[in-house]
Amino acid sequence: PWGTPLQPGIPEYTGDPTTRPTAAHQADMIGIGHDGMWFFPERARGRQSSQSGILCINHEFGRNPHVLGKHSPENLEDVRLSQHAHGVSLVELEERGGQWRVVHGPLNRRVHVNTPVAFSGPVVASPAGRELLDLNNRPHDARGTVNNCSSGHTPWGTYLTCEENFNGYFGATGDWVATEARQRYGFSKNGFGYGWEKFDARFDLSSQAFANEDNRFGWVVEIDPQNPVARPVKRTALGRFKHEGAALTEGKDGRVVVYMGDDQRFDYIYKFVSAENWRTMRARGASPLDEGRLYAARFNDDGSGEWLELNIDNPRLAARFANQAEVLTYARLAADALGATPMDRPEWTCIAPDGRVYCTLTNNSARSEADAANPLAPNPDGHIIRWRDSEQHTGTAFAWDIFLIAESTHGTADTFSDPDGIWADPDGRLFIQTDGNQLDGLNNQLLVADTGTGELRRLLTGVSGDEITGLAVTPDRRTLFCNTQHPGNGDPTRT
Ligand code: FEO
Ligand code: CA
Ligand code: CA
**In this structure, what DSSP letter does residue 452 have?**
T
Which residues line ion ligand 3, judged by CB < 5 Å? Answer: 362, 420, 435
- Note the pTM of the prediction, 2 decimals: 0.98
Looking from the CA of residue 149, the nearest atom of ligand 1 is 1
**In this structure, what DSSP letter does residue 83 have?**
H
Looking from the CA of residue 345, the nearest atom of ligand 1 is 2
* Calpha distance 22→298 (Å, rounded): 48
The predicted pLDDT at position 495 comes to 58
The predicted pLDDT at position 492 comes to 61
Ligand 3 mean position, distance from CA 435 (Å): 5
Burial, 492: exposed, middle or buried (Cβ in 10 Å; 0-12, 13-18, 19+)?
exposed
* Calpha distance 36→161 (Å, rounded): 8
| 343 contacts: CB under 8 Å, gap ≥ 6 | 261, 266, 267, 268, 269, 299, 361, 373, 374, 385
- Ligand 1, CB cutoff 6 Å, lining residues: 60, 149, 164, 244, 263, 347
* Calpha distance 57→483 (Å, rounded): 9
- Shortest-distance ligand to the CA of residue 147: 1
The predicted pLDDT at position 16 comes to 87
Query: How many residues does the structure list for the chain?
Result: 495
* Calpha distance 285→317 (Å, rounded): 31
Ligand 2 mean position, distance from CA 159 (Å): 17
* Calpha distance 82→394 (Å, rounded): 41
Q: pLDDT tens per residue, the chain (495 residues)?
A: 999 999 999 999 988 889 999 999 999 999 999 999 999 999 988 899 999 999 999 999 999 999 999 999 999 999 999 999 999 999 999 999 999 999 999 999 999 999 999 999 999 999 999 999 999 999 999 999 999 999 999 999 999 999 999 999 999 999 999 999 999 999 999 999 999 999 999 999 999 999 999 999 999 999 999 999 999 999 999 999 999 999 999 999 999 999 999 999 999 999 999 999 999 999 999 999 999 999 999 999 999 999 999 999 999 999 999 999 999 999 999 999 999 999 999 999 999 999 999 999 999 999 999 999 999 999 999 999 999 999 999 999 999 999 999 999 999 999 999 999 999 999 999 999 999 999 998 999 999 999 999 999 999 999 999 999 999 999 999 999 999 999 988 776 665
Ligand 3 mean position, distance from CA 338 (Å): 26
Looking from the CA of residue 435, the nearest atom of ligand 1 is 3
The answer to whether the CB of 93 falls within 8 A of the CB of 107 is no
Ligand 1 mean position, distance from CA 92 (Å): 26
- Shortest-distance ligand to the CA of residue 264: 1
Which residue, 321, 479, 349, is CA-closest to 422? Answer: 349
Looking from the CA of residue 164, the nearest atom of ligand 1 is 1
